[in-house]
Amino acid sequence: MSQSATGAAGPLTLYRCMQEALLGDGATLLPAELLAEDVVVETPFSPPGMRRHEGREAWLAFYRARSALLPVRFEQFRELATHQTSDPEVIIVEYELAGTVTTTGLRASATLIGVLRVRDGLIQHWREYQDVLAISEALKLTPEDLGGAGMPSL
């Protein structure tokens, strides 16, 4: 288990907690108890207006609202690579999420890259680069859907 100099959980430990939370009952990408109050969550490839969320409450409100538009039950989290950095607060992770679209029964997967910064045992910053095309195809979204309501972020 990776620990920082203060004894709090480090980025690898919190990343493993995120993996578990995504696949369990009541699945969530970033559990509230892992987030710093001033967390920043970014998905740079999302439509404008959906790319940056500042603060735990702002992120949780966004995620709850988007969950209704993301009818997916994640069933597999396949870690492709985890890269340690020279900064002990930061790791870069490559992974694949696979699951079933609950409205159609279609099984699909998408590859993602995340940059995770943890300080004092809490997530300070999560930047995730998503395979928007794979997600759009799995959810049967058209270009018009993407321009209007926007692509649901995982």
Q: Say if 98 falls within a structural domain.
A: yes
Strands 122-130 and 35-42: parallel
- pLDDT above 70 covers a percentage of the chain that reads 82
> What does pTM read for this prediction?
0.80
Distance CA 108, CA 16 (A): 22
Strands 72-84 and 35-42: unpaired
Q: Say if 2 falls within a structural domain.
A: no
Q: What is the pLDDT of residue 125?
A: 98
Domains contained in the chain, number: 1
Q: Say if 1 falls within a structural domain.
A: no
Per-residue pLDDT tens over the stretch 30-77: 789 999 999 999 999 887 888 899 999 999 888 887 766 677 888 999
Q: Say if 43 falls within a structural domain.
A: yes
Q: Say if 3 falls within a structural domain.
A: no
Check which CATH number belongs to the domain holding 57 and give it. 3.10.450.50
Q: Say if 116 falls within a structural domain.
A: yes
Which residue's structure tokens are 């969530």?
28
CA 76, 78, 84: angle at the middle one, nearest 5?
140
Domain ranges, residue 30: 11-147
Distance CA 143, CA 141 (A): 7
Q: What is the pLDDT of residue 113?
A: 97
